[in-house]
Amino acid sequence: MAAQPTTIPPEMVTHVLYDSRKIHAGTGGLFFALNGLNRNGDAFIFDAYEKGVRWFVVSEKGLIPELPNAVFLKVPNPLIALQKLAEHHRQQFTYPVVAITGSVGKTTFKEWAYHILSPSLRVIRSPKSFNSQLGVALSLLELHHDADIALIEAGISEPGEMERLEKMIHPTMGVLTAFGKAHRANFESTEQHLNEKLKLFRHCVLTFVSSSVELSKSELASITGDQPEPITPPAGFTKGYAPMIGLLHRLAMEMEISEQQFEERLQNLPRLALRMEILEGLQGNTIINDTYNLDADALREALHYQQQLAGTRNRIVVIGLSAGNSNQQAELEQIIADFNPNQTIFIAPGDSIPWQQFHNSVVLVKANRERSFELEVNKGKELTHRTVVEIHLSAIRHNLAHFKKHLRPGTKILCMVKASSYGSGAERVAAFLQQENVDYFGVAFADEGVALREAGITKPIVVMNPDPEHTSLITRYELEPAIYSFGQLDHFVTGLIHEGKTGYPVHLKFDTGMHRLGFSPSEKEQVLQAVLSQPEIRIQGVYSHLADADNMENSFTQTQIAAFNELKTFFDLHLEYPYLAHLLNSEGALHYPDAQFDMVRLGIVLYGYAGASLAAEMLPAVRWKSAVSQVKPVPKGDCIGYGCSYEAEKDMTIAVVPVGYADGFRRSLSNGKGRVFIHGKACPVVGRVCMDMIMVDVTGMSVNENDPVEIIGTNQTMEAFAASMETIPYEVMTGLSKRMHRVYVED
């Protein structure tokens, strides 16, 4: 490691930084210029310097800028340097460090273990879901001497990664929560995948493996540990959590938590969906509900999230104080001040949130779980019925990252958010994707682009089907129209002439075989001549659309790629300025890497729904839930629902669920064709699907009013539900009624 000779800055290093967007107080920070799949860490040095950073760790291959009083430490790889620093820091502590891994459930176990242990012990835990090569290093740097135990998540996606994590963490104890399909495609076999995970535990004194994981004798012998028995979860949690509760019990006993303490704390397990929910509020407000914990790191993360989501909208911070943390107010005020919100309100115990004072703002609500502040949050929510659609932003992030790994350096990503982002809520999802540094957005119509701009989206937006009469709307909101015909081109240019605009960016669409919108490739010379003769427009992109990218047995896609290559060659030859060539959709981006050109377009695959070749690596992002409105007996011979289309063949019990064809639960799912899941068991629809409700068979089950109902989720996937309706996930998602509440969850 070499340092650039310069004047040494006066301050000492006190903390580590890696994301220039999250720097609010750079003094004393050591900035690691990390390189990513599509970014050069050196590009963010100036931004970090402007925010007060004077210490930098950079790649020895990069160019070091001349900045007054800055110190640059040159290393072969900044990420490895950060990991070595974390490894060294970890070695300074002797208290137990618990390493947690598994295909699913890592964050849930960590947060629940914190809930069980923290009243008796001083617990450090990984922030959020920090379990990657970078995340683990950052988590370990949180260790300090004023603690009794540390809970560290560890996740892998490729062979070799776990050995690096194990060396950093050097865990005392280990926990394997589950073993499933996530990332399995990157391993030669299931056995290799499992053995890679078990490497985390090779030096552990004790390891606990979930009873849901099947281990051979040799695999179990490779670690020192056991498989705790499942324990019945508390009321309100499904039986699927029994193995997880067993793991919690075993760890609690090892850390000398009494049985009585464990049972008491188990009954109050937090519902982790409360973390980072985004809710539609009254009076045009958006609510970020993060009422799970109020520690300093969690508050900073939430404030940064609010800043990214709000864009130009007002930001209001509401802190719910409880008797146990009222002395924290000065510390919390100092943290909040770095983010400069428009308003900060501390709510004392017994007081309520003044929702009537908030208008068209993004309101962050933070509190400890003990305050039960979700009741206050509910008062500010827009009135909607109890059937909700959950959008899991963490899954979208995972799916986006998977695609980034398969793109060539410099390839841009355009995310399609048309049709309200396939029914998930375009403004909220686009704000999240903008935070994830995607390059472009695509919408179908101009009004969708306008809504994104008004929600604070600043990235370029392509309008795929612009109406001729929307020229002024497009230019006013700086949208980029797709031009697909000479008549449309003339109309748009005429509008630009009236507005006195020149050099306006447009994307030319060519039909290479799908036979929807687009110029014919044979018209390319005429198109180019028309464009070059009009100073009002400038070619920002040239693109086409694949018709059969997920069918590898058909050569039609290769025919389209060849046709598009000819178009690109032509425009490369005749255009004197750069432009974006883009052809591939989600499936195409993986199957035809040589045709990625300058940009790829990702759509519904971001939500985890794709062809069989992608399914193993995608995480589903959408869950559709409801609750039982009423449970009632139906005697044998009685009929159920409209038209008496269903007659009870025996005494039975039905549950009424408030979801119907007005919500997207089609009428074709009547009389047994459709089903929902209650307590993990399939409950078929009986009678006809009504506009606002369905009746399902729960005979022999213990079901009560308000019990949760899964329509799409763990037990019934989006693909399975779509198949029951004889359609595809696209139609299911876009058919989800806007009257249903959307909840955005980031684990």
642 catalytically annotated: yes
Claim to verify: residue 296 and residue 236 sit in the same structural domain: no
pLDDT tens for 374-424 read 778 888 987 666 799 999 988 998 899 888 888 888 899 999 998 777 788
For residue 57, what is the domain's CATH number?
Answer: 3.40.1390.10
Do 669 and 659 form a contact (C-beta atoms < 8 A)?
no
Claim to verify: residue 647 and residue 543 sit in the same structural domain: no
Last residue of a domain, one of 20, 51, 76: 76
Does residue 592 sit within a domain?
yes
User: Of the residues 51, 366, 404, 418, which is catalytic?
Assistant: 418
Q: Is the pLDDT of residue 82 over 90?
A: yes
How distant, in Å, are the alpha carbons of 585, 635, 650 from that of 406?
Answer: 13, 59, 56
Does residue 284 sit within a domain?
yes
Q: Looking at per-residue confidence, does 586 or 521 come out higher? A: 521
Q: Is the pLDDT of residue 625 over 90?
A: yes
pLDDT score for 663? 94
Does residue 338 sit within a domain?
yes
Does residue 58 sit within a domain?
yes
Does residue 95 sit within a domain?
yes
Does residue 392 sit within a domain?
no
Do 541 and 577 form a contact (C-beta atoms < 8 A)?
no
Claim to verify: residue 298 and residue 360 sit in the same structural domain: yes
Average pLDDT over residues 553-571: 93
For residue 432, what is the domain's CATH number?
Answer: 3.20.20.10
Domain, as residue range, for 335: 273-383
Burial of 349 (0-12, 13-18, 19+ CB in 10 A): exposed
pLDDT tens for 418-439 read 877 778 888 889 988 988 889 9
C-alpha to C-alpha distance for 177 and 248, rounded to whole angstroms:
10
Q: Is the pLDDT of residue 442 over 60?
A: yes
Query: What is the number of domains present in the chain?
Result: 5
User: How far is the first Cα of the chain from the last one, in angstroms, to the nearest whole number?
Assistant: 36
Claim to verify: residue 213 and residue 362 sit in the same structural domain: no
Do 104 and 723 form a contact (C-beta atoms < 8 A)?
no
In Å, the largest CA–CA distance within the chain is: 91
Average pLDDT over residues 651-665: 96
Q: Name the least confident of 19-28, 140-149, 538-547, 716-725.
A: 19-28
pTM listed for this prediction? 0.64
Claim to verify: residue 233 and residue 280 sit in the same structural domain: no
Residue 675, beta-bridge partner list = 684
Per-residue pLDDT band for 184 (boundaries 50, 70, 90) equals low
Claim to verify: residue 500 and residue 456 sit in the same structural domain: yes
Residue 279, beta-bridge partner list = 287
How distant, in Å, are the alpha carbons of 212, 214, 461, 521, 577 from that of 510?
Answer: 52, 53, 19, 6, 20
Last residue of a domain, one of 53, 76, 99: 76
Last residue of a domain, one of 26, 56, 76: 76
Does residue 388 sit within a domain?
no
305 catalytically annotated: no
Do 612 and 428 form a contact (C-beta atoms < 8 A)?
no
Does residue 390 sit within a domain?
no
Torsion angle (degrees, nearest 10) of CA 86, 89, 91, 92 = -170
For residue 655, what is the domain's CATH number?
Answer: 2.40.37.10
Claim to verify: residue 603 and residue 634 sit in the same structural domain: no
Average pLDDT over residues 447-465: 93
Q: Name the least confident of 172-176, 324-328, 387-391, 564-568.
A: 324-328
Per-residue pLDDT band for 613 (boundaries 50, 70, 90) equals low
Claim to verify: residue 557 and residue 434 sit in the same structural domain: yes
pLDDT score for 741? 83
For residue 139, what is the domain's CATH number?
Answer: 3.40.1190.10
User: Of the residues 381, 642, 681, 730, which is catalytic?
Assistant: 642
How distant, in Å, are the alpha carbons of 485, 555, 564, 574 from that of 569?
Answer: 21, 21, 9, 9
Q: Looking at per-residue confidence, does 270 or 19 come out higher? A: 19
